[in-house]
Amino acid sequence: MTETSKPGSDLAEDVLGMGGRELVTVRDLLLRPATVLKAWMEGGAEGGGLYARPLRLYLALNAILMLILFLQGGAGYLLEGYPPEVLGPAIEQSGKSRDAFIADADGWMTLVMVPLASLFFALAATPLLRWWDKDNLGWRRGFRAAFGWLCAWTVPMMPLAWWGYGTSPVAFIVSLVIMALGVIAFVRMGPGRWFRTRLGGIGKGLVLMIAVQISAGFSGVLVGMIGILGAVLSR
């Protein structure tokens, strides 16, 4: 018998890199994230065949975030914080006009911003989630847990992501809401595994978010350096 799939699932996989299992995982991350985490921790990367791999799902979600960033005008706003004594020599060395240099740097930053930030988020979250887990995860399952939490955070933030990029007051407020969603995702996903009491979960969630935001600062510096270097070297 030939295996068939739903047309809607095929379309989602073609457009978003998401098939039926990914969509089920997204649904359950919204409704019962603790159940999804338990399946990933006890049943392997595919949760015993029930769910998508957390890393694959996170990459698909990142692809959507990259598209939103591109449509919103890119990551060039990161250069607004650079002093003239840093950008001036780089622009002069590139031999380009300021507008052309900024456009090239923006292209490079838009390309690497989301993937690099995601990597730094995972590197910041994994040691904490390993430390707080009642089981001896090891690094492999530790990274799986980190990407699982990142998925549980990214799914509900997705409708807000359009307004989260930039330096406007609206972007600042949306960024605060997105950080709150990260703490909420942690509290909903980790009871009995990462913490025992709700208050303890909120406290650890705040610690996790602070660590992630510190890592975001480092990734932002690296993204800016890549953008400037790329604009200098590209012709």
CA dist., res. 64 & res. 90, Å (int): 32
Confidence at residue 105, expressed as pLDDT on a 0 to 100 scale: 92
Confidence at residue 7, expressed as pLDDT on a 0 to 100 scale: 45
Query: In this model, does residue 130 exceed pLDDT 60?
Result: yes
CA dist., res. 38 & res. 58, Å (int): 18
Phi, psi of 179 (to 5 degrees): -65, -40
Sign of CA dihedral 111, 114, 116, 119: negative
Q: What is the mean pLDDT of the segment spanning 127-143? A: 90
The string of pLDDT tens digits covering residues 14-62 is 444 556 889 999 999 999 999 999 999 999 999 999 999 999 999 999 9
Confidence at residue 98, expressed as pLDDT on a 0 to 100 scale: 87
Element at 94 (helix H, strand E): helix 84-94
Confidence at residue 18, expressed as pLDDT on a 0 to 100 scale: 58
Q: What are the Cα distances from residue 63, in Å, to 60, 85, 230?
A: 5, 34, 22
165: left (phi over 0), alpha (psi -120 to 50) or beta: beta
Phi, psi of 195 (to 5 degrees): -160, 165
Q: DSSP character for 79?
A: G
CA dist., res. 134 & res. 33, Å (int): 18
pTM for the structure as a whole: 0.86
CA dist., res. 111 & res. 227, Å (int): 9
The string of pLDDT tens digits covering residues 184-216 is 999 999 999 999 999 999 999 999 999 999 999
